[in-house]
Structure 1
């Protein structure tokens, strides 16, 4: 975690020059550090915005079963999380360059406005497609906001823990409904925007702000971002359609796979041609540690996002709990995640070793996913709490280690790029996870429902994760609920497989020891996607 005062400096020269209660000495004037009222206001602004991002990151999970019932859109589960993360992932490198070329105050404020616009679209969405579009717009804005998320990561952790509870309580409220989980973003975002706007009156100039506008636009890497966005969207469509909506041999599914391949090859060609000015500098992956760290982060993120998305479906669809209670029941995985992160950071700082924590954390995460196969409809509370604790603690132990690894092996000039790449693959894993899970869930669910006489499987799926109970005859309810449980077990096999593969990948990471300063330098953001 980063110190707020350090990050809040922002080299904001002159920001507090006019304040009567603030005196700037020669050293302060030279460094341009903020203090007093200006520092407090700016920190409060970032805390407000960080809280919004954290809530938005986890608040949706407990509302998804009700959303699928309202929109009859069980087949769209994957897109509710993927659309946000795909947009965030594809635009992350480009948004970083906006801060290099343009006024940082305007860039950040516009990013926040786009995020809030997406929240409004989602809140008023008349159908599932509109909600997906709204989530994608929010993801575009979040890509710009994530750049400075390290400012107050303590607030992010609090918001992540509160998200499922708040989301569940709002979803169960007949007056507010699930739509309010998007409206709630507006007041916090507005407060942060106003504080930031009036506090940061004289932001530092952009590093490359004096370049011609034509060169700025060319160097933003927009074509690469568009190709990456298209490639990932094609892959997600193929994963969600294949074997469920259409056979894998269907022209639409096959066409999406071909589109993914063609767009991804075009993206790689563009990056290779652009070299140092590329959206993703390929030379950085010549380090086996960087490549393995990115792969490790993507794989463990797939596992944790899958579990965070589908545990609420178990609680609400199988155990018939309320959305609020499912948020409470999701706390073990979130709290243990934070605890594991703190413990791993302390161990790494004291011992100087980070690779062993990856070797330990990934298997623990895999164990939590694998043990889900023992879950039944009437499993005792201690059982599923224990499994969640294992998963969350395992992820917390290992999820920060790739960030440390790239900082140790890369030169000072390449460290920022390496960190962005780790975050990039983290978002990519989170974006793919809901689509993979949806395909596996729907495929097994339809198969199991087809074995139940007197049940229209398509109608049950269309009814969504909560309302199916209204159309299923009482004498067949146990069989249908068992089908949901079986489908969830199919999903959680991925929660076992991907961390196990991540453990294998981690053996490619160079065994090095943190230098004395690593404990401070390594405190960087981790976009915790326990949810979406």
Structure 2
């Protein structure tokens, strides 16, 4: 093995407890992304600080995203197990402290600590899965891991609401402790690695610059258009700092002996193109997840449960498609399987763009199902494909780069789609007929209150529904364009063949035939 790192050789029956631990740790990260949302009124009532509420979510996403590449590199240098264990411990400490937060500032700081632990989990869980399972099995495992995110997106807000209403919002964080303790126990007892110890020169300068560049970029995307205007001085300074930190990081990484994010990740066509497609996939996911439920309630008049079901369909078809993806990429290759998924997202975008104000419910459900299937066929084959092109000593950094690209795409999508919907909706409100001026709100925030409160007559309600539809229609058009961009990236920037690395698989005995040497695995290269 290059780098002197040799993964443990595990028997097949030893993998199940570790996989359960991976699913549990992934569930911790996924649930804490959304579980706080429904409890915010109770949190504010207890702690105050309503003006800081946005940071409860933003700081978690920010800390998680920017640290993923660093953890991915550390997992290659020192092994997956210590990085994952430290990440889970940090996450649980952040959870325990969040549960006893005495004001909003303290809660934000402890959520940042949670995010630091979540970054380690996000970087290493998929890497460990790649270590344990061969190319033919990884698609199924990725389907299970993807299902965690889908289930959490539906279940977590409901759990948060139950705790807030019948117990205390603090239980949202307390519940992480027994789950995390069980996951830690399974990891410590079941995950074994043999890592040859060497002295490593940690790229502190590169890590700091990478954190600064990514942090400033995501900060600008999250706060632009909300905390400050896009063309304001703070926005210009933040994005200028992003560019400067990124340029210096490139220079430092080129000279580092063990760079945190090796330049070849972004210069090789295969990795750079795959990351680009993963980024646009993340953009589509956040666009649909954020705006589809609101559109279903405000425009179609569905209740919260029914609107949640429309989105939940995506969460159902995503893991199903990811689980079935191995059947495709073993036959037609990783790139072409992802291309099929991208075409499904384009079809989803067409369905949503053609959805009228008075659409039947089956139409957005169909669009949601297509989007989920497309995501499963894009993300899983690309991660599995990238993992198959490198040996154990580089699998962490490659997987971490893919996860970083996905979360960066979600941050970009939240910013872009949020700005687009606000601009379109505000323009429609400004152009409201004079006869409706008294009933139509002048701000974007007032639209949902008027529609939900039933304070407007039929004409005003119809106007507001049409305005919300127009603003969401712009997001649907963005989804279509993002799907088309994914197709172009896959065709233009990703080679059809993924060259697989011929290395012994950790689930097999020494001397056994390498998984990547089987005819099926070789065919996955294209």
TM-score, scaled to structure 2: 0.76
Displacement after TM superposition at 1:128 (Å): 7.9
The alpha-carbon distance between structure 1 residues 245 and 287, as it changes in their structure 2 partners (threshold 3 A), is closer
> Do the aligned partners of 1:170 and 1:180 also contact (CA within 8 Å) in 2?
no
Matched, 1:142 2:118: yes
Aligned residues: 480
> Do the aligned partners of 1:90 and 1:229 also contact (CA within 8 Å) in 2?
yes
Coordinate RMSD, CA, aligned:
4.2
Q: Deviations over 1:103-147 (max 9, x none)?
A: 865543331132234445666778887776555433321221230
Displacement after TM superposition at 1:382 (Å): 0.8
Q: How does 1:164-313 map to 2 (within 5 A)?
A: 164-170=153-159, 173=162, 174-175=165-166, 181-197=172-188, 199=189, 204=193, 206-208=195-197, 211=199, 218=203, 221-237=206-222, 240-242=223-225, 246-274=228-256, 276-313=257-294
Q: Flag structure 1 segments of 5+ consecutive residues without an equivalent.
A: 1-8, 12-30, 524-532
User: Which deviates the most, 382-391 or 281-290?
Assistant: 281-290
Q: How does 1:442-461 map to 2 (within 5 A)?
A: 442-452=422-432, 453-454=437-438, 457=441, 461=445
> Do the aligned partners of 2:273 and 2:490 also contact (CA within 8 Å) in 1?
yes
Measure the CA separation in 1 of the matches of 2:351 and 2:43: 27
SS of the counterpart of 1:399? helix
Measure the CA separation in 2 of the matches of 1:488 and 1:125: 37
Measure the CA separation in 2 of the matches of 1:429 and 1:480: 30
Measure the CA separation in 2 of the matches of 1:492 and 1:66: 30
Displacement after TM superposition at 1:386 (Å): 0.8
Measure the CA separation in 1 of the matches of 2:498 and 2:210: 35
User: Which deviates the most, 448-457 or 358-367?
Assistant: 448-457
Measure the CA separation in 2 of the matches of 1:105 and 1:412: 13
Q: Flag structure 2 segments of 5+ consecutive residues without an equivalent.
A: 1-5, 130-140, 501-516
Measure the CA separation in 1 of the matches of 2:429 and 2:324: 44
Q: Deviations over 1:441-476 (max 9, x none)?
A: 222232223334125746651x69568734854553
Q: 2:67 aligned to 83, 87, 91, which one? A: 91
> Do the aligned partners of 1:123 and 1:183 also contact (CA within 8 Å) in 2?
yes
Q: 1:334 aligned to 285, 307, 315, which one? A: 315
TM-score, scaled to structure 1: 0.75
Counterpart position of 1:110: 86
The alpha-carbon distance between structure 1 residues 456 and 296, as it changes in their structure 2 partners (threshold 3 A), is same
SS of the counterpart of 1:295? helix
Q: How does 1:354-369 map to 2 (within 5 A)?
A: 354-369=334-349
SS of the counterpart of 2:260? coil
Displacement after TM superposition at 1:169 (Å): 3.0
Q: Deviations over 1:5-55 (max 9, x none)?
A: xxxx974xxxxxxxxxxxxxxxxxxx5x4798x876555444432333344
